[in-house]
Chain A
């Protein structure tokens, strides 16, 4: 065994086409721009949890692939989404992360919009008497398709997109009991700047072979019975779920088993995961739930948005325990999440100028936990939407 020379290093791996990707999918501006156009402007994307909009009039502003959106619970209780840009001069209408407003009023010239996005107020409208186009009927906000399932709010920028239910299929079935039978609320939200590509983060939630790199995952999961017996369920449209199993939390020094406060439908310490294309993952760890999603900023810059969910209205002691369980793995000072960011940054550092050429997804374990089929399925869907092969994305395209 010897090191390879440059031509061997550059050469496409002698593997089936879907068993490897080019590092260009993570670094190319051309690919990134196409992703924004063909994936983020076309696919359903998680933006916030319904509990962030508890009351009529509540709104959240979110960043969807660098498009500002406002998610608003109308006075009729319905959650709707709009581009957060005034019809007048395109100023942000809402400029705070959250708020409550019966009428959304732009702070620039005080135009107003109701909770269905209709323009209800044009300041000193008589100034437009000679330009009939500028009237309330024509000046509504740009509506964005919106769906709510199990408390998760999703948007789609494409007016012609398929409806959310058919897009997601039965990928969220495993979450129906833990997320759909007791009221939940977000108690934690922090962001991390990742110096890598948005897909790399999503890979950390699918490519579980990397769990060997986490001491906490090695001790509590990989060494636990049945870890390797779980099977991936590959869903249409790039989604995936994994069979549940019991995590042995007490295997990590100082931690205890999660033997109380178990969420509905779970056994003690049960772990579930659902990956939704293109970039959202829900992980259930017995007592607490994480939703993570990413905001692509540039090929090598991504904002990770990480939420923790617990039971709404529970007492302070139960909340303290759930917070502790959340933070042990996923908090900014926790044992797992920061390591994943370091892994992603390390891969991005090698890929940045093409020193790293390929990513291999060639593991076969009968669809068990560390089988790469979930990755291959994901990139087959990515390639479909992109019209580019993930292993040769910059190949000359037919005119």
Chain B
């Protein structure tokens, strides 16, 4: 984790809330309940997807949205031609830490698996979420920032949905 020096451990109870929150966000995306996902985002949320290119020796930015950009993106999904089947995000916790009193950093590895209507499953992407989560005065977690760092740069057709 790049911010290793500033991260301090968080109490078990708060870590549990974060785990539950991240899993719920992933479930909403899997279910394509984008409204649920967006409702859990802070109005100032920033959502990025980046990947390192071994060919170019640099980082590529594949998505960079604020809340409106995310909403516009998901609103158009029904109009697009898409791979059939279901997507499932398999998460493994890497680290949870505290950046400020009410701001937590959670890092999860994920595997994005697509199961076609025929029942075949296929690994689409491997990567890592790095989320900044704010608890604020209400003590309700909100997603302030998600950086999806992809290891996979060799793709299946591609997706119209947030990762």
Q: Which residues of A contact B (CB under 8 A)?
A: 52, 60, 96-98, 186-193, 213-215, 252-255, 303, 320, 323-324, 327, 331-335, 337-339, 341-343, 345
Asked whether A338 lies within 8 Å of B159 as measured between CB atoms, the reply is yes
- On chain B, the number of residues with a Cβ less than 8 Å from chain A's Cβ atoms is 35
Given B56, B72, B73, B157, which contacts A341 in the complex, CB threshold below 8 Å? B157
**Known A52-B56, A189-B53: A332·B155 in contact at CB below 8 Å:** yes
In angstroms, how far is the closest chain B Cβ from the Cβ of A286? 19
Q: CA separation between A60 and B55, bound complex, in Å? A: 8
How long is the Cα–Cα vector from A350 to B68 in the complex, in angstroms?
Answer: 40
B158 & A334 in contact (Cβ 8 Å cutoff) = yes
Given known A193-B156, A254-B69, A338-B160, contact A186–B64 (CB-CB < 8 A):
no
5 A-B pairs besides A192-B155, A327-B64, A333-B158 with CB distance below 8 A are A192-B157, A213-B81, A332-B62, A338-B160, A342-B81
A60-B55, A97-B54, A331-B63 are known contacts. Are A191 and B81 too (CB-CB below 8 A)?
A: no
CB of B64 within 8 A of CB of A192, answer no
The listed residue (A193, A303, A343) touching B81 by CB distance below 8 A is A343
For the complex, what is the distance from the CA of A152 to the CA of B4, rounded to whole Å? 42
Given contacts A320-B64, A342-B83, contact A192 B69 (CB under 8 A): no
Q: Is the CB of B156 within 8 A of A192?
A: yes
Question: Distance in Å from the Cβ of B59 to the closest Cβ of chain A?
Answer: 9
Q: Which residues of B contact A327 (CB under 8 A)?
A: 61-64
Q: Contacts A332-B159, A333-B163: A98 and B57 contacting too (C-beta < 8 A)?
A: yes
Q: Does B75 contact A (CB under 8 A)?
A: yes
A186 with B153: CB separation less than 8 A: no
In chain B between 24 and 81, which residues have their CB closer than 8 angstroms to a CB of chain A?
49, 51, 53-58, 60-64, 68-69, 71-73, 75-76, 79-81
Residues of chain B lying within 8 A (CB to CB) of residue A254 = 68-69, 71-73, 75-76
Chain B residue at minimum C-beta to C-beta distance from A303: B154
Closest to B158 in A: A338
Name the CB-closest residue of B to A337: B158
Please give, as numbers and ranges, the residues of chain A lying within 8 Å of B62 by CB-CB distance. Answer: 188, 327, 331-333
Q: CA of A338 to CA of B114 in the docked complex: distance in angstroms?
A: 15
Assembly CA distance A287 to B61 (angstroms): 17
Knowing A192-B157, A193-B154 are in contact, say whether A187-B56 is a contact too (CB < 8 A).
Answer: yes
Question: A267 → chain B, closest Cβ, in Å?
Answer: 26
Known: A98-B54, A253-B75. A214 touches B81 (CB 8 A): yes
Are A190 and B154 touching (Cβ within 8 A)? yes
For B86, the chain A residues whose CB sits under 8 A away are none
> B143 CB to closest chain A CB, in angstroms?
18
